[in-house]
């Protein structure tokens, strides 16, 4: 099962390399959904149930946000709160190790990231999210996902630099 976990993480890594460079949230959310699904499967296969549950709930949230984006509607604040509560409940139900609190922190950052209408602000929150997942992965010994999140962290940092830095006038 561990080899399948690494394969899922590898595919998620490739998707994650593409995700932060898009301008439209609809495209970002598509890549994000697929990446979360694969990372969730990877966590599940190495018994990282808290991380897996968080990723699967993230898939539901991303799908809902995708529908709002396609319709050109802003995500209601109440729905963002519902998403945050869902992540809290999932974390409480799957809480096993002290470091599972990191998956909850990452989930809250994720809620904020995908609630953004602007890709620039999405990238900033997603950068922070990946940073927290790196620590969770290390402590959970989810090394395939650790590599994935290090790559996502680096790619998002690069995307912030390329897409979001202020243009200097010459």
Q: What is the pLDDT of residues 5-57, one digit of tens each?
A: 889 988 988 888 887 778 788 888 899 899 999 989 998 998 888 778 888 99
Does some domain include residue 13? yes
Number of structural domains (the chain) is 1
Range of the domain at 10: 2-163
Q: Coil, strand, or helix at residue 14? A: helix
Instruction: Give pLDDT tens digits for 58-84.
Output: 899 999 989 998 998 888 989 989 989
DSSP string spanning 26-68?
HHHHHHHHHHHHHHHHHHHHTT-HHHHHHHHHHHHHHHHHHHH
The average pLDDT across 85-104 equals 88
Does some domain include residue 50? yes
Could you tell me the pTM of the whole model? 0.77
DSSP classification of residue 19: G
Instruction: Return mean pLDDT, the chain.
Output: 87
Does some domain include residue 73? yes
What pLDDT was estimated at residue 95?
85
Does some domain include residue 125? yes
């Amino acid at each position: 099962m561990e080899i399948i976990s690494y394969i899922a993480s590898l595919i998620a890594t490739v998707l994650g390399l593409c995700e932060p460079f898009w301008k439209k949230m609809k495209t970002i959310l598509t890549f994000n959904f697929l990446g979360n699904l694969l990372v969730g499967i990877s966590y599940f296969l190495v018994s990282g149930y808290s991380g897996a549950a968080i990723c699967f709930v993230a898939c539901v949230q991303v799908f809902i946000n995708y529908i709002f984006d396609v319709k050109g509607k802003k995500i209601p604040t109440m729905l963002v709160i519902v998403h945050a509560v869902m992540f809290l409940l999932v974390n409480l139900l799957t809480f096993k190790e002290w470091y599972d609190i990191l998956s909850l922190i990452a989930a809250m950052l994720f809620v904020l990231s995908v609630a953004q209408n602007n890709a620039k602000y999405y990238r900033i929150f997603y950068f922070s999210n990946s940073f927290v997942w790196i620590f969770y992965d290390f402590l959970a010994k989810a090394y395939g996902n650790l590599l994935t999140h290090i790559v996502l962290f680096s790619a998002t940092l690069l995307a912030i630099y390329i897409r979001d830095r202020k243009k200097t006038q010459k």
